[in-house]
Structure 1
Amino acid sequence: MSVAAGSASELTRARVRSAWIFLTPMMIVLALVAGWPLIRTIYFAFTDANLSALDDTRFIGFANFLEYYEGEWYGLLVDPDWWNAVWNTIWFTVVSVALETVLGMIVALTLNTAFKGRGYLRAAILIPWAIPTIVSAKMWGWMLHDQFGILNEILIGIGIISAPIAWTASPDTAMWAVIMVDVWKTTPFMALLILAGLQILPTDCYEAAKVDGIHPVKVFFKVTLPLIRPALVVALIFRGLDALRIFDLIYVLTSNSRETMTMSVYARQQLVDFQEVGYGSAASTMLFMIIAVLVVLTLTVGKVRLGEEVK
């Protein structure tokens, strides 16, 4: 027993060494490509750096985040535009991810059934996701245009609206227009991840449910949904983190509009338009911290649930 245990332990150590050998080059590249810019951004967040004089910076501590000066509070944490961007980001993330999850589940369940031409439909459903975000945003920007957009032409033609709507310019419709485009583009991604979970489910439980005459809706909630929960959680995490840092789609469709400005768009505005590198870096650092905290919480909660299930 001791010899076998020693051999197993040596094999485990060898596998760990091999893993580190393979991971080291990737980690070095990652540190250079992502680590250094991140450290640089965090450093600028505590300075008064300006884009016109980036080398002439002064350390100002937490003043970019919060500062009390002459009886008033200043900084990112008391900026109403920043909190508006935070709210827009949260609203966009919750609504878009929820819709994409529901629609992705429907698409995945449909593609998981056997029918003629299923392979072609699986390939076609991925086209919106495969299109680069900039391209799809420009395409939808033309279709949503209030003067020559095809969407207004269709809705006017069938009598739903009587006059063209500026979908991406109106405060009432801008965010919903962005969410619609994002749902169109990213639902195939959710469907792909959920479909991967459906493909590995055992068939015997479904055959037993069919023999017992259990309603398909009850089978879905009692059998399918619990079994694909790991794949569904992974899909929600990936899509949620991606939605929290949304930039390109919103910026192309609505630019710096206050109604749709997210945290990434806000940071870009401070960094580029206002040339306030220090203040913009503070916004970027806050965005990074929010996402990092959410990742840690998600992983922690996930481990606790897994432990409870094992018990």
Structure 2
Amino acid sequence: MKAKATGGLRAQRVRRAWLVTLPMLVVLLMVAGWPLGRTIWFSLFDAELAQLDSRRFVGLDNYIGPDGLLWSGDWWHSVGNTVVFALLSVVLETLLGLGVALLLNQPSRIRTLLRAAMLVPWAIPTVVSAKMWSWMLHDQFGIVNHYLLALGVLSTPLAWTADPSLSLFTIVLVDVWKATPYMALLILAALQMVPVDCYEAAKVDGVPAWTVFSRVTLPLIMPGVLVAMVFRMLDALRVFDVIYVMTSNSRATKSMSVFVREQLIDFGMVGYGSAAATMLFFLIALITIMCMGLMRRSSDKVAA
């Protein structure tokens, strides 16, 4: 009898949860589901922007046909650029954000001011910050080359955003400058959730600081760090604005989003561009599922 009552209460809670979330699901379906469905639908056609009404159904040819995405060197080059950008930027932002968060977690009279100042790069719109860095990194008139030449670090000015060997790494550094405060803020929130008793017990036992960090702090904040990394990874995989503003359609830095924009807008190939956008969506969805599984295993280890 008790089990039956418990089951009925659980079913009632499930129904109530669905009723509460139903309006949000409807709005999400209208805002995201309909455009996604239209994009997948157009990816099955040979359609051009100038002659959209005369589109021709080609099935999966835009994906696996002789001229499909799977055989396109430019597409896979953009995939490689995006993956390299995402991995480098997220790793650097996580390490720097962790260091900044540890510093801000220490008691200080100006801690509130430092937290506010730290968010300034993140608060600047990406297009504005990208344009600002483009000016500062200009090979002839940029302030970065000016001071590096004055200090003797460089003998000749460098074309930071025009040189194919430097442009991708330069964009990674610009993204790290902008997104590190975001990572630091999320990690700082995780640090402030660590029980103070753990540190007090370690201090009484004379445990070295590095051991406290590696055996106490890091395992406890790891779920929060993983959440921050997942958010940034998903954002980095669909990067567009900073790359397009600083290097436009340069092949050396072209990301998947820039590739999609080039096919849809510059070339007017709606079907092919929609196929690329669909591939981008499913790639991000796959990585999201993998990251969620990793987070779940990490949370289970911490709970155990």
Bin for the TM-score computed over the shorter chain: over 0.9
Q: How many residues align?
A: 304
The 2-side partners of 1:301 and 1:195 are apart by: 21
Percent identity between the two aligned chains: 55
Q: Once the two structures are superposed, what CA deviation does each residue of 1:173-223 show, in whole Å capped at 9, x if it has no partner?
A: 101110011000000111011001000101111112222222211211111
Question: Which residue of the partner structure matches residue 262 of structure 2?
Answer: 269
Q: Could you tell me whether the CA contact under 8 Å between 2:227 and 2:295 is conserved in 1?
A: no
Please give the alpha-carbon distance, in whole angstroms, between the structure 2 residues aligned to 1:144 and 1:295.
34
Name the amino acid aligned to 1:274: F
Q: What corresponds to 1:21 in structure 2?
A: 19
1:298 to 268, 276, 291: 291
Contact 2:223/2:298 (<8 A) preserved: no
| Distance verdict in 2 for CA 1:309–1:164, change over 3 Å | closer
Q: Which amino acid aligns with 1:178?
A: I
TM-score with structure 2 setting the length: 0.95
**Counterpart of 1:81?**
74
- Residue of 204, 221, 234 corresponding to 1:241: 234
* 2:168–2:253 CA contact under 8 A, matched in 1: yes
Q: CA RMSD in A?
A: 1.7
Q: Tell me if 1:283 matches 2:276.
A: yes
Distance in 2 between the 1:269 and 1:308 partners?
A: 44
Residue from 175, 184, 193 that aligns with 2:168: 175
Q: Is the alpha carbon distance of 1:305 and 1:153 closer, same or farther for their aligned partners in structure 2, counting shifts above 3 Å?
A: closer
**Structure 1 unmatched ranges of 5 or more:** 68-72
What aligned pairs does 1:1-311 form with structure 2 within 5 A after superposition? 2=2, 6=5, 11-67=9-65, 73-307=66-300
- Give the distance between the partners of 1:206 and 1:239, measured in 2 at CA: 30
- 4+ residue runs over 6 A deviation: none
* Separation of aligned partners in 1, 2:171 and 2:289: 28
Distance 1:232 1:310 in 2: 16
Q: Counterpart of 2:152 in 1: which secondary structure?
A: coil
The residue identity in structure 2 corresponding to 1:198 is L
Change (3 A) 1:309 1:112: closer
AA matched with 2:101:
A
Structure-2 change in CA distance of 1:194 and 1:86 (3 Å): same
User: Which structure 2 residue ranges, 5 or more long, are not aligned?
Assistant: none
Q: TM-score of the superposition, structure 1-length normalised?
A: 0.93
Give the counterpart letter for 1:215 in structure 2: P
Paired letter, 1:55: D
Q: CA deviation at 1:92?
A: 0.4
Q: Given residue 30 of structure 1, which amino acid in structure 2 is its aligned partner? A: L
